[in-house]
Amino acid sequence: MSDLTATFEAAVANSKNLSERPDNATLLQIYALYKQATQGDNADKKPGFGDMVGRAKWDAWAKLKGTPADDAKQQYIALIESLS
């Protein structure tokens, strides 16, 4: 396992123990970076208008299309560190 992957996994664990809950925009960014880092580009079907939360998550992830997994991991780590 690479150092980046180990650091990313530690940041994922730390994200569950933040001192205060981030705002919704930050939570969407955390979600999107995690998905991009672990699954790559969003290939899921876009949720309908009735699923506002699912649609917001889908949109946030779709904005990261083309971002390499390692870049997404580094951005995720930096974001979690800034919130800790």
> How many structural domains comprise the chain?
1
Distance (Å) of CA 60 to CA 2, 25, 48, 57: 27, 9, 15, 5
Indicate if the pLDDT at residue 8 is higher than 90: yes
Owning domain of residue 33: 3-83
pTM score, two decimals? 0.92
pLDDT of res. 2: 82
pLDDT of residue 37: 97
Angle at the Cα of 71 (from 67 to 73), degrees rounded to 5? 115
pLDDT in tens, 56-82: 999 999 999 999 999 999 999 999 999
Q: Is the pLDDT of residue 1 over 80?
A: no
Q: For residue range 22-63, what is the model confidence (pLDDT) as tens digits?
A: 999 999 999 999 999 999 999 999 999 999 999 999 999 999
CATH number, domain with residue 61: 1.20.80.10
Question: What is the predicted pLDDT for the residue at 47?
Answer: 95
Q: What is the Cβ-side half-sphere exposure of residue 11, based on CA atoms within 13 angstroms?
A: 23
